[in-house]
Copies of this chain bind each other. A is one copy, B any other.
Amino acid sequence: MIHHTSDVQSTKVGKDTRIWQFCVVLPQAVIGDDCNICANVLVENDVRIGHRVTVKSGVQLWDGIEIEDDVFIGPNATFSNDPFPRSRRRPAEYTRTRVRKGASIGANATILPGVTVGEHAMVAAGAVVTRDVPAYGIVVGNPARITGYVDANDTHRLQAVTHPSDSAPQPEKYKKITELAGCFVHELPKIEDPRGNLSVVEFQKDVPFEVKRCFWVYGVPGKEIRGEHAHFECHQFLMCVAGSVQLVLDDGHDRAQVSLDRPSLGVHIPPMKWGIQYKYSDDAVLIVFASHLYDANDYIRDYGTYLHHVRQLRAA
């Protein structure tokens, strides 16, 4: 069960444990039964691994690390044993790091020296664990923070209704009227007054299509993206009358980004242009004038499909 390319110097490897390609196991290491040690794993001397442990590729277990039964260690998860390392200055004793029974260390997580990861805890992929993780805790981020607990079956995140939160608006630069990726940016008149401001659109003069519908989008969490579709037939005219939003325009060939950050900007998106809105500020209200009533069949929601149609149109 030990691949011939590996250099396993320890004799304390348990029953049914498999060790794959290019591993190194030093003589004092202890490995339990029924483990799975994937390719490219290194195990130093002062290391104890329990039973039924999985260690994925790219992991090193340094002196001072203890892994209990049923632990999972994801690929490239990284341990260390010196909290303030300098080349060739070795601490008198290595800090001990413990991973308790049933815990799971996510892919590419970093575990700082001296930390204990509790029973059945779940360290998210990419987390940088700087302090102890309680039993059943789920930790995420850099530095890792608890974001929830594992449910009774130990297979899901405990449900709690979470609400997203968002970002304050930032003004962007003033932009002149221009054409971008087949769409048209307009500066609308703005009448400033100490008693309040006013902007105006005259439909027959300013909007290059007959308006049949007006809708507005608001209360969009800052991390959401809206749009991400094209229309076969419908024209749209977008204005952000409060807050701000970023607009990506795409005609299948050119792409451009517009910051709708003041009420006097308007963007005309003709049919067969791909549009994305993102970075909505908390208070953003996006007004859209449309040339058609709502029709689900007028939407192209897949970018590949959209590109396919663009190419067909160009060929035609």
Q: Which A residues are closer than 8 A to B by beta carbons? A: 5, 7, 20-22, 24, 34, 36, 38-40, 42, 52-54, 56-58, 60, 62, 70-72, 74-76, 78-80, 84-89, 102, 104, 106-108, 110, 112, 118-119, 122, 124-128, 134-136, 140-143, 145-146, 148-149, 151-152, 154-156, 158-173, 194-205, 211-226, 228, 241-243, 246, 248, 250, 253-257, 259, 263, 276, 278-280, 283, 285, 287, 289, 293-294, 303-304
Asked whether A201 lies within 8 Å of B226 as measured between CB atoms, the reply is: no
> A42 CA to B276 CA in the complex, in Å?
37
Residues of B within 8 A of A253 (CB): 152
> A130 CA to B4 CA in the complex, in Å?
37
Asked whether A86 lies within 8 Å of B58 as measured between CB atoms, the reply is: no
> A287 CA to B201 CA in the complex, in Å?
11
For the complex formed, measure the closest distance between the CB of A1 and the CB atoms of chain B, giving whole angstroms. Answer: 15
Residue from the list B78, B127, B172, B216 in contact with A199, Cβ < 8 A = B216
> A245 CA to B68 CA in the complex, in Å?
32
Residues of B within 8 A of A222 (CB): 165
Residues of B within 8 A of A39 (CB): 24, 42
> A166 CA to B145 CA in the complex, in Å?
13
Asked whether B218 lies within 8 Å of A200 as measured between CB atoms, the reply is: no
Contact sample, A vs B, 12 pairs, CB 8 Å cutoff: A21-B24, A22-B22, A24-B39, A74-B80, A86-B155, A108-B110, A119-B303, A135-B303, A165-B168, A196-B280, A201-B214, A203-B212
Residues of B within 8 A of A72 (CB): 85-87
> A97 CA to B88 CA in the complex, in Å?
22
Residues of B within 8 A of A294 (CB): 200, 202
Residues of B within 8 A of A119 (CB): 303-304
> A89 CA to B289 CA in the complex, in Å?
42
Asked whether A169 lies within 8 Å of B173 as measured between CB atoms, the reply is: no
Q: Kindly report which residue of chain B lies nearest to residue A172, judged by CB atoms.
A: B161
> A108 CA to B107 CA in the complex, in Å?
11
Residues of B within 8 A of A167 (CB): 163-166
Asked whether B211 lies within 8 Å of A199 as measured between CB atoms, the reply is: no
Asked whether B217 lies within 8 Å of A198 as measured between CB atoms, the reply is: yes
> A288 CA to B112 CA in the complex, in Å?
36
Residues of B within 8 A of A214 (CB): 200-203, 214, 289
